[in-house]
Amino acid sequence: MIINKTDLVNESELDDVLDWVTEIAPETPQVQTQYAEVPLDVLIGTNDDVSSAYPEHDSAGGLGVHHQDDYQSWIYESEGALSWVKVERVLADLPESIYRVKGFMYLSQHPDKKCTLQIVNQQISLDCHHTWLAEEPKNQLVFIGDPEINLDSFIKDIDTCAAAI
């Protein structure tokens, strides 16, 4: 269980939250953090030993988390509608070294809907229940993965998924 923003409460309030979390989920490991700084291996579930993920953990509960070298993020943005059929084919070839993808999609199959795409561990989820409201439809995706990967050709493949509306 990730307990974020611990810097925004006093020690007594944090103790109350920790007691409550322990009461409702006594067997669940707890990660106290600030600014959502959680080691990637803990976040995606490849390290069940939360304490080992924090080598700089001190006795006062402070965490020294530095994961900038563990992953990199890339942003994909485009204005035009994309074909979900084509995008899905491109995503099927997503390298395993991409750990997470999340964002909004403007799809030709649902032009009035702001579709939310999420990918974790190669599992794709697409939710098209929200409308664009006053926003201009566009595609905005964030890819998180191994810093050694080059996504240039993959991004070009997404660009080939353009569709007319």
- Rounded to whole angstroms, the Cα distance separating 32 from 64 reads 11
Cβ–Cβ < 8 Å for 38, 5: no
The topology under which CATH files domain 72-159 is Hypothetical Protein Yjia; Chain: A;domain 2 (3.30.1220)
Of 32-36, 77-81, 105-109, 159-163, which gets the smallest average pLDDT?
32-36
- 61-86 tens-digit pLDDT: 333 333 456 778 888 899 999 999 99
- Residue 50 or 136, more confident: 136
Q: Hunting for tokens 């595609």 — which residue is that?
A: 139
- Rounded to whole angstroms, the Cα distance separating 11 from 117 reads 38
Phi-psi region of 101 (alpha: psi -120 to 50; beta: other; left: phi over 0): beta
Residue 134: in which H helix or E strand, if any?
none
Question: What is the overall mean pLDDT for the chain?
Answer: 82
- Compute the chain's Rg from CA coordinates: 19
143, two tokens: 């890819």
3-class secondary-structure state, position 104: strand
Predicted TM-score (pTM) of this structure:
0.62
Which residues, other chains included, contact 141 with Cβ-Cβ below 8 Å and sequence gap of 6+?
75, 76, 77, 101, 102, 103, 104, 105, 117
**pLDDT at residue 33, as a whole number:** 85
By CB neighbour count within 10 A (0-12 exposed, 13-18 middle, 19+ buried), where does 149 fall?
A: middle
**pLDDT at residue 59, as a whole number:** 33
Identity at 10, one-letter amino acid code: N
**pLDDT at residue 57, as a whole number:** 36
**pLDDT at residue 50, as a whole number:** 53
pLDDT winner (highest mean) among 50-64, 85-99, 139-153: 85-99
The strand pairing partners of 127, in sequence order, are: 116
**pLDDT at residue 165, as a whole number:** 81
**pLDDT at residue 40, as a whole number:** 67
Of 5-14, 31-40, 118-127, 153-162, which gets the smallest average pLDDT?
31-40
- 18-61 tens-digit pLDDT: 999 899 888 888 888 887 777 766 766 665 555 544 444 333 33
**pLDDT at residue 131, as a whole number:** 94
Where are the chain's structural domains? Answer: 2-53, 72-159
Identity at 101, one-letter amino acid code: V
